[in-house]
Structures are given as C-alpha cells and as structure tokens.
Amino acid sequence: MISLITLSSCNTIDNQSDDFLNLQHQNQSMQQEIAAYAAREHTLTSREEAISARETELVNLLAELLKEKKQLELYKDELILSKQRSAARARARARVTPAPNNKTTNQDSNTKKSEQTVLGELENVYLDPPGMQFSARIDTGAQTSSLNAMDLVEFERDGKPYVKFHINHPQTNKKIELTRRVRGYVGIIEH
C-alpha cells in the first residue's frame, strides 16, 4: 500500500510538472508574439512618420510650384503688355499724315473727306454686361478689338469652352470678374 501511495504521489508531481512546463511554454510563446507585434507596430509607426514627412514635403513643393506658376503668368502678362505698348508706339510713329497735294482741287478733297469715317485715337466702347463704358485705343489695322483680361482661366460648361477672367473697372480700377463663352481663337501678329 505504501508503494501505491508513493507511486500516485509521483504521478501527481509529474502532472503538475507537465502543467508547469506547458504554462511556461505558453508564456514564452505569448511573449514572442507580443514582441513580434511590438516590432510590427514600431515598423508601421516609422512608416507612417516617413509618409507624413513626404506628404508635408509634397505639399510644400506644390505650394512653391503654384507660387512660381503665378509669378510666370504675371511675368508673361507684363511681357505681353510691354510688347503691345511697343507695337502701339511703333504704329503711332508710323502714322504720318500725307502732305497736301497741290494738284487736288477743293471739290476732290471734300468728296474724299465725306467718304471717310473720322475716328480719334481714343474712342469710348460699351461692354454689356457689366454695362460699363471703357476708353479704347483705335487700331486701324485690326479687324477686331481686344480687351485686357487678367487671371484667365479656361474651363468647359455643358461641353462648350468658356473662359473666366478679370478686368479693371474704368473708374475705380477694382477687378471685375467676367465669364464668357469662347467664340474663337485669334493669333496676334506683331510687326
């Protein structure tokens, strides 16, 4: 009987020992999983920080790009305006009134004058809408007139090309926004 009690107590110790080893093994396994999870979390955090830094860099680059684009557009507008002024001065210098011809009679000159339309260097034009009168320079060599448009933006509405732009109010010099449908494109040839 004594040997039976001893054997059963050994069996109980062996079972407890096996349970303890299993718990230790499970504990080590859980610690390894937690360490792996922590390493993955650290990797993801590092990647998120790197992505955030790149996003900030891209936003800053985009802001710089837009700023430079606006400066280029302003420079282009100034260059075009300068060329237009130079061309207007050249045209003004080229307009020379012919000397009176002694052979022409008064009756011939009166007939010629009545057939011509007399325009001043500046004339008033009316733009509707916005319902304002502007002072316009006359260009006898042009078929159409032009208007100085700033901040030009092209877009489509209902499949048709439109343009949005600003003009300066003739009296207050404040910007007025206008939107018009594009009717055609004209190439400007400067002499």
- Secondary structure class of 7 (helix, strand, coil): helix
Would you tell me how many other CB atoms lie within 10 Å of the CB of residue 167? 19
Would you tell me how many other CB atoms lie within 10 Å of the CB of residue 99? 6
Q: In the CATH hierarchy, which fold is given to the domain comprising 122-184?
A: Cathepsin D, subunit A; domain 1 (2.40.70)
* 161 Cβ contact partners less than 8 Å away, ≥ 6 residues apart: 154, 155, 181, 182
pLDDT in single tens digits along all 191 residues of the chain: 544 444 445 555 566 677 778 888 888 989 999 999 999 999 999 999 999 888 888 888 888 888 898 888 888 888 888 888 877 777 666 554 444 444 445 555 555 556 666 666 777 777 777 778 877 777 766 666 677 788 999 999 999 999 998 988 878 888 989 898 988 877 766 65
CA separation for the pair 90, 190 (Å, rounded): 10
Per-residue pLDDT at 24: 86
CA separation for the pair 110, 105 (Å, rounded): 9
Partners of 126 in beta bridges: 133
